[in-house]
């Protein structure tokens, strides 16, 4: 894992670019959703970019990642094709899943974005199976399982922790704890909100990370991967974060507004911890990137997003007569 | 067709398929409860651990959901796992990885990723084992798009269908009935396939078509033998695969006989007997001389007491008396 060794500026540029790409991409979906040009359910990860960017920056192309209903960020951070993602959300034939999957089933297998699924905890055991395959084939690949805090209510997570521990599988369990399982606060879901402790009874090394601090996520992931590569897996990582949008769609779920869930003061407090402005301050203070360099990255990424929407809008829809394709190979 | 007339038991035929395929293809592995035990899954996994080691013969804790999911994940990244459920009943815990993930994955990735795996479930019934140690859920799985379901009735098909299932690029549910494990039959020593989706005429006849699969084919053969004494010539269709169904084989047979009895070891309502009845109604309407008969389990959980068990499971006499009334 020496991808960025002795190249702090290159690393920071990459992390910043990736977070900006994810944020711009997510926010770019809002207008087309409101205009009903996008019809499938879209779970935005605005506010959670640092986790995807920090973790995936440590991975190599051959490593696997598995996601959830909220996985645009994971997909992009691992190198997934932007045009194909946007086209998929529009339900187009040129989408990464040919318009059969939508926002919740995105994949780019050649880039190691194996797949994503909205059944809560549904891909955890699959990620573990990919790690098992890596072990059987002696490939030294790592498999990363992204899931939310809601998944800690599912039994299969605990079965998977146990199984992965017994066989020392190279799987990184990443719990993105954004404090809400759809509408329900984590404190009402669990008697103890220190999620990383759930791995301890399985003798799994587990840590809690500030999921909004991209450099911390990156540094801690590097340590976790060392363990995995040395056959000391699995590892469990809880990343504390917050989604700036609501569970699904553009609604921000602030009390008193359309869907009453979260207190305005709480959302405001987390806006202060927005990972992107905080990283900008860090980069400026440390004199790693200048204002104009960051602006240049933002302009480039905005251009990419715009052309991805153009690409998607100009792409054909799947043909109705192809409805029954792809059930079997 | 046969390279010799070697006879072996059904369970040894399955075992031989594993030995040969594991040796031939390094991406195949076997995972599930009891695969290293001398008795857990009959003799089907005998000596595999000695030949292929713990990395490819993986005995697991009781975690059907995670273990099945692990097999699905390994298949998605290019392995060919066989995940075993020594008792079908326990597979309920694995419904999510089977139905939501394995069966849908190919479609929801727009054809970019297939799931080449075998989910092997064993029906293990009788002996007063009661409701949770007896169930036959094949129809339930056959309802799901994206998964194939095979059910062999004899040692030859058991080996050939297992090899086809492992080689198939899609998830295949291989269901066998433990009552078949001791049955002997001719099995070639070489590797061969029995095609998925192709049924077999186990016996030709002109008066009535009996459709069955798995252990029920054996009951049908015995019933046909009895029926001949009353002058009734039954044609027996062994489905071998219940999804996708060999529709032409069934339709062509009923066009010839004009009568049909479906024998199924599952429950009556919404089962394969109902599915095949609908198929015949759609494609051979007006050609049938008599109503269709369904001989199935009643819509009742499996009982414990052997007195009740005796009434519960299908008997040869139930089949013969139903068909005698039909042809009369």
- Confirm whether A45 is domain-assigned: yes
At A139-152, the pLDDT tens digits run: 999 999 999 999 99
- Confirm whether A316 is domain-assigned: no
Taking the C-alpha atoms of residue B93 and residue B99, their distance in angstroms, rounded to an integer, is 11
The whole-number pLDDT of residue B113 equals 98
- Confirm whether A324 is domain-assigned: no
Per domain, the residue ranges of chain B are 7-186, 200-327
Instruction: Indicate the average pLDDT of chain A.
Output: 95
Pick from A97, A114, A167: CB nearest B76:
A114
- The DSSP bridge pattern shows strands B260-267 and B293-297 to be parallel
Sheet bearing B293-297, strands edge to edge? B200-203, B234-238, B208-212, B260-267, B293-297
Query: Tokens 């369990």 belong to which residue?
Result: A173
Query: Which residues on chain A are in Cβ contact (under 8 Å) with B73?
Result: 66, 114, 123, 125-130, 132-133, 143
Query: Measuring CA to CA, which residue among A70, A73, A274 is closest to residue A180?
Result: A70
The whole-number pLDDT of residue A2 equals 59
- Confirm whether A329 is domain-assigned: no
Does the CB of A114 have a partner CB in chain B at under 8 Å? yes
Taking the C-alpha atoms of residue B321 and residue B59, their distance in angstroms, rounded to an integer, is 46
Query: Tokens 């187009």 belong to which residue?
Result: A92
Query: Which residues on chain A are in Cβ contact (under 8 Å) with B169?
Result: 328-329
Does the CB of B286 have a partner CB in chain A at under 8 Å? no
Taking the C-alpha atoms of residue A230 and residue B85, their distance in angstroms, rounded to an integer, is 33
CATH class of B200-327: alpha beta
At A77-92, the pLDDT tens digits run: 999 999 999 999 999 9
The whole-number pLDDT of residue A307 equals 98
- Contact between chains at A107 and B111 (C-beta distance less than 8 A): no
- Confirm whether A319 is domain-assigned: no
Identify whether the C-beta of residue B250 lies closer than 8 Å to the C-beta of residue B280.
yes
The whole-number pLDDT of residue B3 equals 55
Which residues have CB under 8 Å from B308's CB, separation 6+? Answer: none
Confidence category of residue A253, pLDDT binned at 50, 70, 90:
confident
pLDDT at A255 over 60: yes
The whole-number pLDDT of residue A1 equals 46
At A29-66, the pLDDT tens digits run: 999 999 999 999 999 999 999 999 999 999 999 999 99
| Residue B252: exposure state from Cβ atoms within 10 A (0-12, 13-18, ≥19) | middle
- Confirm whether A254 is domain-assigned: yes
Angle between the N-to-C axes of helices A124-136 and B48-56, in degrees from 0 to 180, rounded to the nearest 10? 120
CATH class of B7-186: alpha beta
| Secondary structure of B10-74 as H, E, C letters | HHHHHHHHHHHHHHHCCCEEEEECCCCCCCEEEECCCCHHHHHHHHHEEECCCCHHHHHHHHHHH
First to last CA, chain B: 39
The domain that holds A60 is classified in CATH as 3.40.50.970
What number is the ipTM of this complex?
A: 0.96
The alpha carbon of residue B173 and the mean position of all alpha carbons in its chain are separated, in whole angstroms, by 8
Query: Which residues on chain B are in Cβ contact (under 8 Å) with A117?
Result: 100-101, 108
Distance in Å, alpha carbon of A277 to nearest chain B alpha carbon: 35
Marked catalytic residue, from B19, B133, B226, B275: B133
Query: Tokens 């252990």 belong to which residue?
Result: B215
Query: Measuring CA to CA, which residue among A241, A55, A48 is closest to residue A143?
Result: A55
Taking the C-alpha atoms of residue A226 and residue A219, their distance in angstroms, rounded to an integer, is 11
Q: Span A126-143, mean pLDDT?
A: 97
Which residue intervals of chain A are DSSP H helices?
Answer: 8-28, 30-34, 49-56, 72-77, 82-89, 124-136, 155-166, 186-189, 214-229, 264-271, 275-285, 291-314
Q: In a mutagenesis test of the B interface, which of A101, A111, A145, A159 is the best target, namely the one with the most B β-carbons within 10 Å?
A: A159
The whole-number pLDDT of residue B266 equals 97
- Residue A265: domain span: 8-311
- The DSSP bridge pattern shows strands B28-32 and B208-212 to be unpaired
How many Cβ pairs within 8 Å bridge chains A and B? 148
The whole-number pLDDT of residue A261 equals 81
Equal CATH topology for B7-186 and B200-327 = yes
**Token code pair at residue A317:** 């829809």
At A150-162, the pLDDT tens digits run: 999 999 999 999 9
- Indicate the number of domains in chain A: 1
pLDDT at A107 over 90: yes
Q: Is B282 a catalytic residue?
A: no
Taking the C-alpha atoms of residue B314 and residue A191, their distance in angstroms, rounded to an integer, is 51
pLDDT in tens, chain B (328 residues): 445 799 999 999 999 999 999 999 999 999 999 999 877 888 899 999 999 999 999 999 999 999 999 999 999 999 999 999 999 999 999 999 999 999 999 999 999 999 999 999 999 999 999 999 999 999 999 999 999 999 999 999 999 999 999 999 999 999 999 999 999 999 999 999 999 999 999 999 999 999 999 999 999 999 999 999 999 999 999 999 999 999 999 999 999 999 999 999 999 999 999 999 999 999 999 999 999 999 999 999 999 999 999 999 999 999 999 999 988 7
Q: Is B19 a catalytic residue?
A: no
């Amino acid at each position: 894992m020496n991808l960025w060794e002795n190249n702090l500026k290159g690393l920071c540029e990459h992390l910043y670019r990736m977070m900006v790409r994810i944020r711009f991409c997510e926010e770019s979906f809002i207008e087309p959703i409101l205009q009903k040009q996008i019809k499938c359910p879209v779970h935005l990860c605005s506010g959670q970019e640092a986790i995807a960017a920090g973790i995936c920056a440590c991975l190599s192309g051959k490593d696997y990642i598995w996601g959830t209903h909220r996985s645009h960020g994971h997909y992009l951070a691992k190198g997934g094709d932007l045009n194909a993602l946007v086209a998929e959300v529009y339900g187009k034939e040129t989408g990464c899943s040919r318009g059969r999957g939508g926002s919740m089933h995105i994949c780019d297998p050649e880039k190691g974005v194996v797949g994503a699924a909205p059944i809560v905890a549904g891909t955890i055991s699959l990620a573990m199976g990919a790690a098992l395959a890596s072990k059987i084939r002696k490939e030294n690949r790592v498999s990363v399982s992204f899931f939310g805090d809601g998944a800690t209510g599912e039994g299969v997570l605990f079965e998977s922790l146990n199984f992965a521990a017994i066989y020392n599988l190279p799987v990184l369990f990443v719990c993105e704890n954004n404090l809400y399982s759809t509408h329900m606060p984590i404190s009402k879901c669990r008697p103890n909100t220190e999620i990383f402790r759930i791995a301890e009874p399985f003798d799994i090394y587990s840590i809690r990370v500030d999921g909004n601090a991209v450099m911390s996520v990156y540094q801690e992931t590097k340590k976790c991967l060392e363990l995995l590569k040395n056959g000391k897996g699995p590892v469990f990582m809880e990343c504390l974060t917050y989604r700036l949008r609501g569970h699904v769609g553009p609604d921000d779920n602030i009390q008193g507004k359309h869907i009453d869930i979260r207190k305005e003061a709480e959302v405001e407090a987390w806006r202060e911890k927005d990972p992107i402005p905080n990283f900008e301050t860090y980069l400026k203070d440390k004199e790693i990137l200048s204002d104009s360099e960051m602006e240049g990255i933002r302009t480039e990424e905005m251009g990419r997003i715009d052309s991805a929407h153009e690409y998607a809008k100009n792409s054909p829809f799947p043909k109705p007569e192809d409805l029954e394709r792809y059930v079997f190979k | 067709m046969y390279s010799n007339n070697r006879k072996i038991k059904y369970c040894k035929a399955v075992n031989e398929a594993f030995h040969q395929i594991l040796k031939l293809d390094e991406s195949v592995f076997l995972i599930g409860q009891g695969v290293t035990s001398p008795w857990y899954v009959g003799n089907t996994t005998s000596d595999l651990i000695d030949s292929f080691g713990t990395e490819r013969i993986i005995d697991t804790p009781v975690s059907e959901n995670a273990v099945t999911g692990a097999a699905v994940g390994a298949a998605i990244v290019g392995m060919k796992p066989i995940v075993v459920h020594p008792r079908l009943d326990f597979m309920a815990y694995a419904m999510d990885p089977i139905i939501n993930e394995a069966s849908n994955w190919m479609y929801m990735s727009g054809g970019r990723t297939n799931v080449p795996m075998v989910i092997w479930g064993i029906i293990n019934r009788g002996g007063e084992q009661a409701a949770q140690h007896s169930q036959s859920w094949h129809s339930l799985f056959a309802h799901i798009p994206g998964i194939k379901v095979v059910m062999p009735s004899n040692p030859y098909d058991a080996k050939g269908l297992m090899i086809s299932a492992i080689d198939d690029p899609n998830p295949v549910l291989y269901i066998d009935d433990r009552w078949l494990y001791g049955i002997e039959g001719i099995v070639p020593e070489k590797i061969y396939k029995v095609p998925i989706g192709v049924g077999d005429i186990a016996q030709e006849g002109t008066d009535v078509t009996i459709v069955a699969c798995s252990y029920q084919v054996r009951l049908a053969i015995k019933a046909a033998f009895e029926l001949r004494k009353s002058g009734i010539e039954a044609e027996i269709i062994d489905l071998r695969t219940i999804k996708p169904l060999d529709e032409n084989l069934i339709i062509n047979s009923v066009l010839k006989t004009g009568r049909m009895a479906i024998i199924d070891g599952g429950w009556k309502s919404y089962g394969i007997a109902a599915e095949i009845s609908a198929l015949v109604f759609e494609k051979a309407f007006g050609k049938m001389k008599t109503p269709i008969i369904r001989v199935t389990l009643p819509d009742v959980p499996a009982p414990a007491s052997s007195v009740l068990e005796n009434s519960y499971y299908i008997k040869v006499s139930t089949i013969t008396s139903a068909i005698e009334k039909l042809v009369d």
